[in-house]
Structures are given as C-alpha cells and as structure tokens.
C-alpha cells in the first residue's frame, strides 16, 4: 500500500495530493513549483531563481522521506519556454553535480500559478 509523504518544509499542496508517495523501495514526488514555503507565493520570475526554489522544495520533500538528491533515479522537467533550457540545465547541473539521473524535459502550455518550471522525481529508498 503506498504511503503518502508530506513535508512541513515544502509549500503546501495546492490540490488534493501528497508531496510524495512511497511504494516499495521507490518514492514518487509530486511536481514541485517555485513557491516559497514561508510566504506561499511564487519567487522572482527569473528562470534561475525559480529553478533554485524548485530544487529547495524538492530537497525538502526528499529529506522528509530520509532521502536526498543522490537517491533520485529519474526526473521530469516541465518548462514554460524551451528557450530557457540552457539556464535550467545550469541550475540542474549545480544541484545534481556528478549524479546524473535519467531525465525528460518537455515544454508545456502552462504551469500552476503561471510559474516557469516544475520538476517531479522518482527516488530509490
């Protein structure tokens, strides 16, 4: 039976879902967007600032499950504008370092609250 995971250090979910769900030895995170958990608002509109906040939120969810980015095996990145891929890629590389999980990146017509980037992950427990 899947176990829901919710972090006090990540922004509250804006819908009827958990921050993550553990099933067997895998943790599936919900998409994290660049909302500051302290204010409940989107951070600055720059793609780099938003990407860093997404990673902070993702790390908070992983930490609640006793994990970190080194346990991530797959991510899906949703971008509002694929022209911002180089900036997103630089922030992504900064956070993952030498660890290179599988990844898909897609451009979407829109994201929650009008943000520029959303990232979901699958991690091994």
3-state secondary structure of 96: helix
Number of domains into which the chain is organized:
1
**pLDDT category of residue 14 using cuts at 50, 70 and 90:** confident
Q: Which residues constitute the domain of residue 100?
A: 3-124
| pLDDT tens per residue across span 102-117 | 999 999 999 999 999 9
Q: Which CATH number does the domain housing residue 16 bear?
A: 3.30.1330.40
Cβ-Cβ contacts under 8 Å for 34 (sequence gap 6 or more)? 42, 43, 49, 50, 51, 53, 54, 57, 115, 116, 117
| pLDDT tens per residue across span 15-59 | 999 999 999 999 999 999 999 999 999 999 999 999 999 999 999
pTM above 0.95, yes or no: yes
């Amino acid at each position: 039976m899947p176990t829901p995971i919710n972090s006090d250090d990540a922004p509250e979910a804006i819908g009827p879902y958990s921050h993550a769900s553990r099933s067997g030895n895998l943790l599936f995170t919900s998409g994290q967007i660049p909302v500051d958990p302290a204010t409940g608002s989107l951070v600055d509109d720059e793609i780099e600032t938003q990407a860093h906040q997404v990673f902070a939120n993702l790390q908070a969810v992983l930490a609640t499950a006793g994990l970190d980015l080194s346990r991530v095996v797959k991510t899906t990145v949703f971008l509002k504008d694929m022209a911002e891929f180089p900036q997103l890629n630089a922030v992504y590389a900064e956070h993952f370092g030498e660890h290179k999980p599988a990844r898909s990146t897609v451009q979407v017509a829109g994201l929650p609250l009008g943000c520029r980037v959303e990232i979901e992950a699958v991690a091994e427990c």
